[in-house]
Amino acid sequence: MTRKVLLVDDDSAVREALAQTLELADYEPVTAGSFVAAKDHIRADFAGVIVSDIRMPGRDGFHLLTYTRDMDADLPVILLTGEGDIPMAVQAMGQGAFDFLEKPCAAADLLKVLGKASEAREHVLQQRAMKSELERGDPAARLLFGLSSKAEALRERVRTVAQTGAEVLVTGPAGSGVSKVAEVVHLMSPQSQGPFVKRPSAGLSTSDLVHVCEDAAGGSLFLDEISAMPEATQYAALEMVEQGVGARILAGTTTDLAELSSDGRFLADLFYRLDVMRVRIPSLAERPEDIPVIFRHYVAQAAEQAGINEPEITSDHLASLMTGDWPGNARSLMSAAMRFVLGMPEDVSQAAELGLSEQMARVERSLLIAALGRHNGKASDAAKALKLPRKTFYDKLARYHIRPEDYRR
């Protein structure tokens, strides 16, 4: 949720009191004593909310509201009204104000309205960012969702890898979208005008492999769950890669292929040839901040498929989703979105029914995993980032059965 707030009031004592209230609630207030001073902060990309008094010398709150709506009709403006100004506030609501509060307003009332306005603003900015990327014709932006640094790093990695023309190994936990990422690599590659052929590796014979390579000529061949490929076919695949085939080879796996090859359960030479360029998909547990964005997308998709209107998604519901484990990653979140749209009971994320200690434990686990992911599985760096003593950090890893090596790239 965006935390920036522009406070506009000609009374310096009121401004300071409101700013202190917001700072204690972890908001980032910027103050202005007049409409003219506030104009410098009002932009179409302002990632926050405006709180303004109605009555001010010179240009008042109505001027500010009109100016803001001309700049960005979706930028929330909350107006503060003095005694006797209620009719004016109602008029302002008709002109597009987000809400109004009577002065002096209780901190709880202000924070409640501000929370709703901040969520609304964040959603608008997220949708604009998505639309902007889509209009650029960027398949990575169109198909790989999330606004976190990890999501952007994934998109950038896909863009880079796609242009190399080399073999690619796409890895990620079950349900994370390995095949979708492989498809995006193809769409952004020089082979994008050719076919994208996807085949499961389990049970794939040598003759079948020859045929699918021919089918994918000029394009890309994606071998899904390559770890399940029969041993004889692995040797054939290695020979084809070394000789060069008419298709770019993309391989996907949800298991640790390096470990399988070191144990002799997968042909090591083939692993090394496929692992020229690797794309690792982070789990939802590593980037819980992306869950609201992805869930909203799936809800819109599910509602369209079902032919019904999108139901309202409350902040409490999104908060409960963010504390879930989501072992099935995007796949399970998609199922949860469909159940949500259809009004069915939620049985994947039960965080809302848990006690405070259980919810806090889930949040703590997510933060530990996210820190390890950001620091490439280096426990010492992750502990330092979280400002935890090393022993405490390792104790927490043991408590939640988290292995740093699972988050090394």
Q: Which residue has the higher pLDDT, 127 or 285?
A: 285
What's the CATH architecture for 139-280? 3-Layer(aba) Sandwich (3.40)
Strands, DSSP E only, in 229-367?
248-253, 277-280
User: How many other C-beta atoms are found inside a 10 Å radius of the C-beta of residue 365?
Assistant: 20
For the chain, residues classed under CATH 3.40.50.300 are 139-280
Which pair of structure tokens corresponds to residue 252? Answer: 């996907």
How far apart are the C-alpha atoms of 65 and 62, rounded to whole Å? 5
Backbone angles phi, psi at 7, to 5 degrees: -100, 125
Predicted structure pTM score:
0.58
Hey, which of 116-125, 201-210, 355-364 has the most confident mean pLDDT?
201-210
Is the pLDDT reported for residue 238 higher than 90? yes
Q: Quick one: fold of 4-131?
A: Rossmann fold (3.40.50)
The pLDDT tens digits for 31-71 are 999 999 998 889 888 989 999 998 888 888 888 999 999 99
| Site of tokens 């209780």 | 106
- Distance between alpha carbon 137 and the CA centroid of its chain, in Å? 20
The pLDDT tens digits for 130-184 are 556 545 667 887 778 888 889 999 999 999 999 998 999 999 999 999 999 999 9
Determine the average pLDDT of the residues in 189-203: 91
Domain range 288-407, CATH class: mainly alpha
Backbone angles phi, psi at 185, to 5 degrees: -55, -45
| Site of tokens 């924070």 | 111
How far apart are the C-alpha atoms of 149 and 181, rounded to whole Å? 17
| pLDDT value at residue 352 | 45
Is the pLDDT reported for residue 350 higher than 70? no
- Report the run of H or E that residue 168 belongs to, with start and end: strand 168-171
| pLDDT value at residue 409 | 60
For the chain, residues classed under CATH 3.40.50.2300 are 4-131
Strand partners, 221: 197, 249
Determine the average pLDDT of the residues in 181-196: 90
Residues 6+ apart with CB under 8 A from 287: 146, 148, 150, 151, 370, 373
Task: Report how far apart the first and last C-alpha atoms of the chain are (Å, whole number).
Answer: 30
| pLDDT value at residue 363 | 65
Note if the bond before 104 is cis, omega within 30 degrees.
yes
Rounded to the nearest 10°, the torsion over CA 77, 82, 86, 88 is -60
What percentage of the chain reaches a pLDDT higher than 90?
42
Q: Which residue has the higher pLDDT, 120 or 283?
A: 283
pLDDT averaged over the chain? 86
| pLDDT value at residue 25 | 87
- Sheet arrangement for strand 48-53: 28-32, 4-8, 48-53, 77-81, 99-102
